[in-house]
Structure 1
């Protein structure tokens, strides 16, 4: 009797297993859900104008850019690698490490103001910016070069050469160009802090809107 039961149980177990396999097969057949793609990155390499000098970090135009990306360009993020007081030499020294660390899709280079305020040689600034653009493009990133303008007290030749650096580099490396970061507020005294150099919190949305006009086409 026991041997007969055991003999019947084995095919019964096999049949039950087969039925369970058939019942569960649709679940097994479904492809595994695709992993969310890694966010695409905008890397900002700037000075105090991009670091949010004199205000809390979330109040600067770069942080506001992060909010706009979340709203209008899902899948994009911003990394702010700006440092107050940074020169083009400092940016040139840091660029390789930053692009290898973050693997950006777009690099915004907004440096040169401190070079100009210190009267540093234009040729050196040009070489430094060229190195930053080259390193960014080497990792496959698009580049937005953001220019500045200097006051006339530095001399007409220096002032003109300073602006020309950005135009020439943009043509040479085929980058996007925003000629003057502070253009929307250049003539608005109330848009600057007491030092008359750094924009106020209230001016940051204007800077963001200005940068956005040149940046948005690169976010494709």
Structure 2
């Protein structure tokens, strides 16, 4: 009788809620929150936006200011020790700023995405644009990296992380490279729908 009662209760109980998704932020200073207080950085503002929408997700920041794609590749395995359910990947800006080879940046990002794919981790890839002063060949080669790799690995793509913020004095810190609190808020508002899609993929 007791076993039957327990079985009946289990059958009538509502389905268990999906576990909280852990999302790893993996990038450079733009994701690390360079020049901003902790509460005004990208992770904190994105977490607040998700919380406000009732989306059950925990953001974990493994971003390092100054990192190139090579740096990101070299520390990837250690960073994945937090066992994320999904990854927001934003690397390449420092490769471009240093004028490093687009082909090398592509190779490094490809290796990162390949390892994430092996772990069946859904990815949101944050694209970056190149300084036009580097010349048309460099710009074309660099900017093609993100859509090409997103298509190859079926990753979600936000084409330009600084869309609507780059070159806007009121939305950037004095260095003109890093968004201020208002700039981050603009980015979060724009990227949020894709982050929601990413979390849905993680919960499948």
- Normalised by the shorter chain, which TM-score bucket? 0.7 to 0.9
Distance 2:31 2:55 in 1: 22
What is the aligned length? 195
2:23 is paired with a residue whose SS is strand
1:219 is paired with a residue whose SS is helix
Instruction: Indicate conservation of the 8 Å contact 1:147/1:180, yes or no.
Output: yes
Distance 1:54 1:109 in 2: 20
Distance 1:217 1:136 in 2: 17
Structure 2: state its 5+ residue gaps. none
1:62 aligns with 2:65: no
Of the candidates 66, 80, 92, which is equivalent to residue 112 of structure 1? 92
Instruction: Indicate conservation of the 8 Å contact 2:27/2:63, yes or no.
Output: yes
2:182 is paired with a residue whose SS is coil
User: Displaced runs of 4+ in structure 1, greater than 3 A?
Assistant: 28-38
What RMSD over aligned residues (CA atoms) do the two structures have, in Å? 2.4
State the TM-score, normalizing by the size of structure 2.
Answer: 0.86
State the TM-score, normalizing by the size of structure 1.
Answer: 0.80
Instruction: Indicate conservation of the 8 Å contact 1:44/1:78, yes or no.
Output: yes
| Map of 1:209 onto structure 2 | 189
1:182 is paired with a residue whose SS is coil
| Map of 1:190 onto structure 2 | 170
Question: Radius of gyration: which is bigger?
Answer: 1
Instruction: Indicate conservation of the 8 Å contact 1:103/1:139, yes or no.
Output: no
2:60 is paired with a residue whose SS is strand
Over 3 Å counting, the alpha-carbon distance change for 1:202 and 1:140 in structure 2 is: same
